[in-house]
Amino acid sequence: MADIEVKDKGKGGKKPGQKKHTTRVDLTPMVDLGFLLITFFMLTTSMLKPQTMEISVPSKDKVQEDEQNKVKASQAITILIGKQNKLYYYFGAQENGIDPKLEETDYSAEGLRKILMTRNAEVMNNVSQLKLDKANRKVSEEDYTKKLSEFKAAKSAPTVMIMACDDSNYKNLVDVLDEMNICNIARYAIVNITPYDLGLIDKKTPPAK
Amino acid sequence: MPKVKVPRKSTTVDMTAMCDVAFLLLNFFIMTSNFVAKEPIVVAIPSSVAEIKIPERDIVTVLIDKDGKVFFGLDTQQDRKEVLDNVGKAYSINFTDKELIEFSKINMSGVPIEKMKAFLASKPEVRDSKEAAIGIPADSLNNQFKVWMKTAKQVNSKLRIAIKADQETPYKVVKSVMGTLQDIKENRYNLITSLKEVSTK
């Protein structure tokens, strides 16, 4: 192959016919094989492990109703995931028969995220300050996690209820859950949509017929 | 001046070093590789900013495709065998050893239990075909999925649940799966997503 034999003419009184064998083995095919296998393994392996989002939901036998009622109306945000990638939200709850104002928004950074960030401004500020401190090594890893959960659990932080209607898709749900992560909201729950909330959406969007 | 003698050099390059490198890399890839698991259906997972990596072992994957078919996957062969055996018992179907071994080779299953015997007896080509990917019944009338999950948890209590669903999956299906998990008191689970970069400012 890449080998050009430099022939030694049998000068040194060697008998003709007796060949001098070198112990050298041409390794080129072996290298070829090695790289072939490397390519194979590189292509078949999944180096990138997928990310996961951890969620925990309340168990069914707990009295869920109580839990929901405890949410202070002033801190409550209800997010309604509608069909065809529509997204609605309202603050508070129905009071004295007056419906809360339902607003439409979207999944972009200017939409839901902005709203949540304004509502959660205090926590956001605290957290970003903490992250800055951590980057400058002012706080230790332990303190960081401790403080982070402390900030997130602040009393003033909003509580978000996520309701998805049956016609929405999974991506919508993940997107909303994602916004919770981005906006450092610790208190949120996925709740079954109520007929009342469906009614609100219907009122907002008059039938197009 | 004496004549400069140009030595005749051979063009042979010593391949030993290169060979070493090649095999070193090969070793690395063999050691670190975990093969791309074959899944009966292709799902496009949604993206999120979550950065938690999924654990390597002891996970049970629930795969949901956009038509709402549910698949069930365990990561160790031993678990798979035991789970099938127990699920079979729950539906009074007895699986032979051969069938159990055959099942333990399958990464993800999505076959109603009454069709499982026929499925295991069929050829691998038939098994991989789209027609064979029926999905496990997960509705309230015939919730085999619940039995599968319950059995899996009994067999290996360390199992973590990972839900891998298609972006387009209707929320209805996801809700019913989550509801089922709630029924068997599984309140913590992971949603598998791909990474997305997001600026907070």
Q: How confident is the model at residue A47 (pLDDT cuts 50, 70, 90)?
A: low
- pLDDT on residue A36: 92
Q: To 10 degrees, the CA torsion angle through A102, A105, A109, A114?
A: -20
From B146's Cα to the closest Cα of chain A, the distance in A is 15
Domain boundaries, given as residue ranges, for chain A: 73-91+104-120+157-204
Of A20 and A136, the one with more pLDDT? A136
Q: What's the pTM value of the predicted model, to 2 decimals?
A: 0.73
Instruction: Report d(CA B143, CA B148) in Å as an integer.
Output: 9
Do the Cβ atoms of A173 and A162 come closer than 8 Å? yes
Check A174 against B16: CB less than 8 A apart.
no
The residue type found at B14 is D
Distances (CA, A) of B26 to B18, B35, B46: 12, 15, 33
| Residue A57 near chain B (CB below 8 Å) | yes
Is it the case that residue A75 has pLDDT exceeding 80?
no
Q: How many Cα neighbours within 13 Å face the side chain of A41? A: 19
Greatest CA span in chain A, whole angstroms?
118
- What ranges do the domains of chain B cover? 47-195
Q: How far is CA A132 from the centre of its chain?
A: 22
* Torsional sign, CA B160, B161, B166, B171: negative
Which of B18, B24, B29 best probes binding to A when mutated, by most A CB atoms within 10 angstroms? B29
Radius of gyration of chain A measured on its C-alpha atoms = 33
pLDDT beyond 70 at A114: yes
The larger pLDDT score, comparing residue A205 to residue A160, is at: A160
pLDDT band for position A107 (cuts 50, 70, 90): confident
Q: What is the DSSP string of A48-102?
A: SPPEEEEEE---TTS-HHHHHHHS-GGGEEEEEE-STT-EEEEES--BTTBPPPP
Q: Are B166 and B45 in contact (CB under 8 A)?
A: yes
Q: Which residues pair with A164 in a beta bridge?
A: A81, A192
The Cα-based distances of B19 to A23, A38, B16, B32, B142 in angstroms read: 17, 12, 5, 20, 59
Of B26, B164, B189, the CB nearest to A41: B26
Contacts of B36 in chain A (CB under 8 A): 44-46
Q: Hey, is the C-beta of A43 within 8 angstroms of any chain B C-beta? A: no
Residue numbers in B near A179 (CB within 8 A): none
Mean residue pLDDT across chain A: 75
Q: At B148, is the secondary structure helix, strand, or coil?
A: helix
Residues B166 and B66 sit within 8 Å (Cβ to Cβ) = yes
The residue written with tokens 């003698």 in the block is B5
pLDDT at A8 over 60: no
What is residue B181's three-state secondary structure? helix
Q: Give the Cβ contact number of residue A30 at 10 Å.
A: 16
pLDDT at B195: 77
Please report where in the chains the tokens 């990310």 appear, as a residue: A51
Q: Find chain A residues with C-beta within 8 A of B29's C-beta.
A: 38, 41-42, 45
- Residue A17, pLDDT > 70, answer no
Q: Do B193 and A51 touch (CB under 8 A)?
A: yes
The residue ranges of DSSP E strands in chain A, in sequence order, are 51-56, 76-81, 87-91, 103-105, 159-164, 188-192
Which of B99, B77, B78 shows the shortest CA–CA distance to B88? B99
Q: What is the pLDDT of residue A2?
A: 52
Residue B36 and residue A45: Cβ atoms within 8 Å? yes
Euclidean distance between CA atoms B100 and B86, whole angstroms = 11
Q: How far is B14 from chain A (nearest CA, A)?
A: 8
Given a cut of 70, is residue A71 above it in pLDDT?
A: no
Q: A73-91+104-120+157-204 has which fold? A: Nucleotidyltransferase; domain 5 (3.30.420)
Please give the distance of CA A93 from its chain centroid, rounded to a whole number: 29
Chain A 74-93, CB below 8 Å of chain B: which residues? 81
Q: What is the pLDDT of residue A206?
A: 61
Note whether A81 contacts B171, CB cutoff 8 Å. Answer: yes
Residues of A in contact with B188 (CB under 8 A): 54-56
Identify the closest residue of chain A to B163 by CA–CA distance: A52
Predicted confidence pLDDT, tens digits, chain B (201 residues): 677 888 887 777 788 888 899 999 999 888 887 766 667 777 788 888 877 777 777 888 888 888 888 888 888 888 888 888 888 888 888 888 888 888 888 878 888 888 888 888 888 777 777 777 788 887 777 788 888 888 888 888 888 888 888 888 888 888 888 888 888 887 888 888 887 765 544
With a threshold of 0.85, tell me whether the complex ipTM lies above it: no
Cβ <8 Å between A168 and B170: yes
Res B201: pLDDT: 43
A41·B29 Cβ contact <8 A: yes
Q: Which residues are CB-contacts of B89 (< 8 A; sequence separation ≥ 6)? A: none
Whether residue A68 has pLDDT greater than 60: no
pLDDT band per the 50, 70, 90 thresholds, residue A4:
low
Residue pair B162/B189 in contact by the 8 Å Cβ criterion:
yes
Q: What is each CA distance from A56 to A79, B77, B165, in whole angstroms? A: 18, 28, 17
pLDDT of A143 higher than 70: yes
- Among A34, A47, A175, the residue with its CB nearest the CB of B23 is A34
